[in-house]
Amino acid sequence: MRDVKQADVPEGADSPLDAAVASRDSSTVEMATEAVKHKQCKLAFQPVMQAQPPFGVAFYEGFIRVLDETGRVIPARDFMPQLENTPIGRDLDCVALEMGLRTLVRNPDIRLSINMSARSIGYARYSRVLERFLKKDAGLGERLILEISESSAMTVPELVVDFMDRLQPRGIAFALDDFGASNFSFRQFREFLFDAAKIDGQFVRGISTNPDNQALVRALIAVAREFEILVTAESVETREDAEFLVANGVDCLQGFLFGAPTVSAPWTRENNNKTGS
């Protein structure tokens, strides 16, 4: 392997590692840009289950996926961190919203949550997509949940509060994603008035044998209860973890224990199973 000389490092990079990271980020943005341009995007759906009887599907979460040049499905974790603050990140939010709303139109019996960045609130295309669908069918709002992460919400809190104030009367619910991952205070809960909160998966995985996370999750559930917020635990992977979470009052469970995200509509398989039983 040849030595990496200073002349090989892109301008503005401090080291070969910086150059490698910059190159990776540039490739990620290019891949996502091409996917949006050529409509090579999909939603992957994961069920969110009720923690109490009748233990059915409460709703589904739709995750944006892009296809690379070979047609391989790329999960959001592999590209969204690099795109969060870019215009293409806003475009992907718009694509996810439009695909989610089309899914609701085609499937009137399901409810769906879609992730968005708070940075998309002032993005004209995002508003146009939402208004176009709600104008055709105002009832779609009753089946749409928009998820905003703690860290994203805190970048523009006034915009988030105003956005929620305008859309909650139209039936749209809002969920605080990554609950517990940052310093979200009681005061902010009172200002934002989220309908639901999703406990960050880092505190859920292996919780049945982790006393520290058990104490933290009990505290998060107690905070949510004070504000009458529905609580979902994500990243539930074992029966033991699920049993602990249910015993401590979560409303919904999401994770590989109940199903991995899939680009094929899971409700179709579930309906077929019911028909064949």
Produce one character per residue of 88-104: b if its CB has 16 or more CB atoms within 10 Å, e if not. Answer: bbbbbbbbbbbbbbebb
Give tens-digit pLDDT for 105-153: 999 999 999 999 999 999 999 999 999 999 999 999 999 999 999 889 9
Q: What is the DSSP string of 43-55?
A: EEEEEEEESSTT-
Per-residue pLDDT at 69 exceeds 80: yes
The full DSSP string for 130-192 is: HHHHHHH-GGGGGGEEEEEEHHHHTTSHHHHHHHHHHHGGGT-EEEEEEETSS---HHHHHHH
Domain 40-276: homologous superfamily in CATH: EAL domain (3.20.20.450)
Across the range 45-68, mean pLDDT stands at 96
Where are the chain's structural domains? Answer: 40-276
Q: Is residue 11 pLDDT above 60, yes or no?
A: no
Under 8 Å between Cβ of 206 and 216: no
Residue 275, exposed/middle/buried by CB under 10 A (0-12, 13-18, 19+)? exposed
Contact 125, 157 (CB under 8 A): no
Is residue 213 predicted with pLDDT exceeding 80?
A: yes
Give pLDDT, residue 82: 84
Distances (CA, A) of 84 to 62, 89, 91: 18, 5, 11
Sign of the torsion formed by the C-alpha atoms of 263, 267, 268 and 270: positive
Q: pTM for this one?
A: 0.87
DSSP per residue, 88-123: HHHHHHHHHHHHHHHHHHH-TT--EEEE--GGGTT-
What is the pLDDT confidence band of residue 182, given thresholds at 50, 70 and 90? confident
Average pLDDT score over the chain: 88
Closest listed residue to residue 234, CA positions, set 213, 255, 220? 255
In our burial notation (b when 16+ CB lie closer than 10 A, e otherwise), range 29-63 reads bebbbebbeeebbbbbbbbbbebeeeeebbbbbbb
72-95 pLDDT, tens digit per residue, is 888 888 888 888 888 999 999 999
Work out the burial of residue 173: count CB atoms within 10 Å of its CB; fewer than 13 is exposed, 13-18 middle, 19 or more buried: buried
